[in-house]
Amino acid sequence: MFNRGITVCHIQSSQQVTIISRKMSTVCRDMRNICLIIISALLSIASYGCMSREDDEFVLPGGDFAVTSPHGLLIVNEGNFQYGNSSLSYYDPTDMKVTNELFQKVNGMRLGDVAQSMTVYDGTGWIVVNNSHVIFAVDIKTLREKGRITDLTSPRYIHFVNNRKAYVTQLWDNRIYIVDPATYSVTGTITVDGMQQQSGSTERMVQIGEYVYVTCWSYQRDLLKIDSSTDRITDRLDVGFQPGPLVKDFAGNLWTITDGGYSGSPAGSGIPALVCIDPESMTVIRRLEFKQGSSPRQLATDSSGHTLYFINQDLYEMDADDSSLPVKPLVSGDNRLFYALSVDPVNGDIYLSDAIDYTQQGVVYRFSPDGVQTDKFYAGVNPACFCWIP
């Protein structure tokens, strides 16, 4: 009752409508031909079906690359979490040319998963690759690998105290690692009391004299003061919920942005703020609050330390002496997702990256100090950190 009289392929002996009934008593030549066609097709497929790797096609002959400009910009592209597609770009501000994926092209291997930051110290660039649990040391002129520090929990930033000691901050850990750059080895840790391992987070570092100051970001509130001669935390200050970036101004004061977390977090949240701290007394000098729900991020100064720059959807600048937040942006966001920020220490040009949709090559915009766009180029996926070659 529910059937309609047309054929499906299988052959049945049911009591249903007969469609095709054909008597055949001839030699089945066509069947032989079909067999031949099928087997030929399978043969073709088998011989065709081999994969080839394409990575090596991109490696520079001899791995040669040379930074010729006396003053260049390296861009660490974070990539996507669990994709392993971090990369390193180089931009020459003089001839305004960019070269992408240099780490792999020079070294013939991937940079890793979620490259977070880069620090240049004594002719060596140190690239911190968060989810690969590694820090690569590269020659800053050739970008060729010199060595690596491995087995880190979830490294974020590296700060050099001297040529035999550096600090590495981490996520998901309540310890700051102490490493020896000369031997690429971990030599000790600084444990942050009162911080849980699984929600632990230490972030940006600035050194003033013997003391290294460290913000504690994810689910944290403190600014730490570490005596680098003893590797002990000597003081800490509650600066607000989730302080991230950290810079020093012309007067020797520290500035951070507390992003305030997100509403509904069981760990709490707060009003985002730009906070100025006296590092000597570990007290808050000024606290300039943003609107609730805003998302301030990134902080930079010009070479003199008189002017502060930060992102809050748009790019803003303010004098370090100002007692209120600026109202008018220097550069309007215009639907761009400003991701990273840096100021050229030589000429004061401003560099801003746009992560766009986070799954394509991000754009880097270059502006003059008065906010006029002078260049635009594509780097890697999620340009997250700018690092100037002195």
Partner 1 sequence: MKRLLTFITVLAMTLAVSAQRELDEVVVRATRPLSEIGVHKTVFDSVALKQSVAQSMADVLSNNSALFVKNYGRATLSTVSFRGTSPSHTQVTWNGMKLTSPMLGMTDFSTIPSFFIDNASLLHGTSSVNETGGGLGGAVRLATATVPADGWQATYTQGIGSFSTFDEFAKVGYGDDRWGFSTRIAYASSPNDYKYVNHDKKENIYDDNHNIIDQYHPTERNRSGQYHDFNILQELRYSPNSRNNGSLAVWYTNSSRHLPLLTTDYTSSTPFLNRQHEQSLRAVVSWRIISGKFRTDLRAGYTHTAMAYDYQRDPGNGIMAVMTRSRSYVNSFYEQAELQYVLSSKWIFTAGLTAYEHLVASHDMQVNGVDGVPARVGYDKHRTDLSGALTLRWQPTDRLGLSAVVRQESYGEKIAPPIPAFFTDFIILRSINLVAKGSVSRNYHHPSLNDQYFMPGGNINLRSEKGVTYDLGTTFAISRSSRCAVEGGVTWFDSRITDWISWLPTTKGFFSPRNVGSVHAYGIESNLRIKLVPAKEWDASVSFNYSWTPSINKGPAMSEGDRSVGQQLPYIPRHSATANGSLSYRSWTLTYTWNYYSRRFTMTSNENTITGALPTYFMNNLILEKKITTRPLYLNLKLAVNNLFNEDYVSVLSRPMPGINYEFFITFTPRLKNK
How near is the Cβ of 38 to partner 1 at its closest, in Å? Answer: 5
Between CA 260 and CA 295 the distance in angstroms is 8
| Minimum separation from the CB atom of position 362 to partner 1 (A) | 8
**Residues 6 or more apart in contact with residue 309 via CB below 8 angstroms:** 298, 299, 300, 301, 302, 315, 316, 317, 330, 341, 343, 350
CB closer to partner 1, 103 vs 213? 103
Which long-range CB contacts under 8 A does 144-150 form with residues at least 24 apart? Answer: 144/63, 144/106, 144/107, 145/107, 147/184, 148/184, 149/179, 149/184, 149/185, 149/186
Report how far residue 102's alpha carbon sits from residue 212's, in angstroms, rounded to the nearest whole number.
Answer: 32
Least distance in Å: CB of 388 to partner 1? 23
Phi and psi torsions of 368, nearest 5° = -70, 165
Q: Which structure tokens are listed for 119? A: 């620090």
Which of residues 301 and 361 has its CB atom nearest to partner 1 in the complex? 361
Q: Considering beta carbons, is residue 209 or 268 the nearer one to partner 1?
A: 268
Minimum Å gap between C-beta 251 and partner 1 is 29
Please identify, using beta-carbon distances, which residue of 51 and 327 lies nearer to partner 1.
51
211 vs 236, beta carbon nearer partner 1: 236
Q: 253 or 361, CB closer to partner 1?
A: 361
276 vs 311 by CB, closer to partner 1? 311
Task: Pull the structure tokens for residue 342.
Answer: 């840096």
The string of DSSP codes covering 99-157 is E-SHHHHHHSS---S-EEEEEEETTEEEEEEGGGTEEEEEETTT--EEEEEE--SSEEE
The smaller minimum CB distance to partner 1, of residues 79 and 279, is found at: 79
| Shortest reach from residue 246's CB to partner 1, in Å | 16
Question: Nearest approach, Cβ of 134 to partner 1 (angstroms)?
Answer: 4
Cβ at position 285, least distance to partner 1 in Å: 26
At closest approach, how far in Å is the CB of 90 from partner 1?
Answer: 15
**Between 213 and 365, whose beta carbon lies closer to partner 1?**
365
* Residue 304 C-beta: closest distance to partner 1, Å: 28
Give Cα separations from 324 to 275, 276, 286, 288, 305 (angstroms). Answer: 11, 12, 9, 6, 17
How many Å apart are CA 9 and CA 253, to the nearest integer? Answer: 81
Do residues 136 and 127 touch, judged by C-beta distance below 8 A? yes
Q: How many CA atoms lie within 13 A of 259 on its CB side?
A: 21
Supply the DSSP symbol for 11.
-
Task: Give 264-272 contacts, CB < 8 A, sequence gap 24+.
Answer: 265/219, 267/199, 267/219, 268/241, 269/241, 270/240, 270/241, 270/242, 271/240, 272/296
3-class DSSP assignment, residue 333: coil
Separation of alpha carbons 342 and 351, rounded Å: 5
Minimum CB distance to partner 1 smaller for 150 or for 303: 150
